Amino acid sequence: MYTTELKDKNQAPQSAAVVEDPARLEAFEARVAADDFIEPKDWMPEAYRKTLVRQISQHAHSEIVGMLPEGNWITRAPNLRRKAILLAKVQDEGGHGLYLYAAAETLGTSREEMIDALHSGRAKYSTIFNYPTLTWADIGAIGWLVDGAAIMNQVPLQRTSYGPYARAMVRICKEESFHQRQGYEIMTALAAGTDAQKRMAQDALNRWWWPSIMMFGPPDENSPNTAQSIRWRIKRETNDELRQKFIDVTVPQAEAIGLTVPDPDLTWNEARGSYDYGAIDWDEFYAVVRGEGPVAKERMQARVKAWEEGAWVREAAAAHAAKHQAREAAE
Ligand SMILES: [Fe+2]
Ligand SMILES: [Fe+2]
């Protein structure tokens, strides 16, 4: 899954930024412009560090919260093959969250701080996970559209300027393409099935299309951090560029399996070589960002419950590690 790098509550305004040493800043900018990777021990401007911590931790949270809507369907998968695939996919998302928390930790923020920010509602995660999964076709639609949108966003991040983030993204992208394929395969099977199955597939596309388009974040004119992030190569393409690419590859996929994208204004623009699309309901997007998504409260309750019930595992692992260290020290 992925993140749109949203403004967190209590985020310091840009004007509060520290004044950096101009010579160091210039050397840093030259390295970034030359496509050098920045590594954890290298000097970096405070604003770069903060933007990365926010983006990588939001990305990590999105992976972990993203396990919930699909995890709900593991026990209800229609057969053993589908269950095995879904289990593997949800485990992959857990792994993505862990690599990303580890990458964010190299910037000097602790795992506990990040988890606490998530559970207390200070940190954001992708708005898409605050929508419910009502039918099995939703599992298909999520893989196809949500993981499909994630790939669009994450492929350029393999060349993001921060080394640990870029390297985590290489493996994540390989796994995301499997996620997209399994989702599209579910949709293909349903769309070629009985009338009831076709209706289920179309209904899932109807509900997930617009939230998927919104996953790319606010339009460029309302995305104040984009220019700086592109200059520092934290981001390599803008929200609107990525959204357009996603629409252009996904519409023919829907047509190929006989489903209709729920946008009456969608038309091929010969001159641009791209699809024109209808107006996005940004009021809905910002409402979900503010935590008013249909199942936002349930998602956070499920996360906090899992964290609390898993306390004994963390304590047992820490006790085991301490015992080992003590034994090694004694030897
Ligand atoms: Fe993922
Ligand atoms: Fe995924």
How many Å apart are CA 281 and CA 210, to the nearest integer?
8
* Per-residue CA distances from 59 to 283, 321, 325 (Å): 23, 29, 33
Instruction: Return the percentage of the chain with pLDDT > 90, whole number.
Output: 82
% of the chain surpassing 70 pLDDT: 95
Least trusted range by pLDDT, from 147-151, 205-209, 234-238: 234-238
pLDDT at 5: 57
Higher confidence at residue 307 or residue 222? 307
CA of 103 to the centre of ligand 2 (A): 18
Distance 198 CA to ligand 1 centre (A): 27
Q: Which two tokens stand for residue 91?
A: 């485990």
Mean pLDDT of the chain: 92
Q: What local confidence, expressed as pLDDT, does residue 242 receive?
A: 95
Ligand 1 mean position, distance from CA 22 (Å):
38
- Examine the pLDDT at 3 and tell me if it is beyond 70: no
Measured distance CA(184)–CA(145) in Å, rounded: 8
For residue 93, the CA-to-ligand 2 centroid distance in Å is 6
Higher pLDDT, 277 or 291: 277
Instruction: Tell whether pTM > 0.95.
Output: no
- Is 234 in contact with 162 (CB distance < 8 Å)? yes
Find where tokens 């993505």 sit.
96
Q: Is there a contact between 59 and 153 (Cβ–Cβ < 8 Å)?
A: no
63: CA distance to ligand 1 center in Å? 5
pLDDT tens digits for range 10-30: 454 444 567 888 999 999 999
- Ligand nearest 70 Cα, by number? 2
Query: What is the Å distance from ligand 2's center to 151 Cα?
Result: 8
Candidates 221, 266, 228; CA nearest to 244 is 266
Instruction: Say how far apart CA 160 and CA 165 lie, in whole Å.
Output: 7
Q: What is the pLDDT of residues 246-255, one digit of tens each?
A: 999 999 999 9
Proximal ligand: closest to the CA of 172: 1
Residue 224 above 90 pLDDT?
Answer: no
Cα of 324 vs centre of ligand 2, distance in Å, is 36
pLDDT in tens, 164-206: 999 999 999 999 999 999 999 999 999 999 999 999 999 999 9
Mean pLDDT of 267-291: 94
- Cα–Cα distance for residue pair 265/277, rounded to 1 Å: 6
Residue 293: pLDDT band (50, 70, 90) is confident
CA neighbor of 169 nearest in space, from 329, 2, 315: 2
**20 Cα–ligand 1 center, Å:** 35
pLDDT of residue 10: 47
User: Letter for the amino acid at 314?
Assistant: R
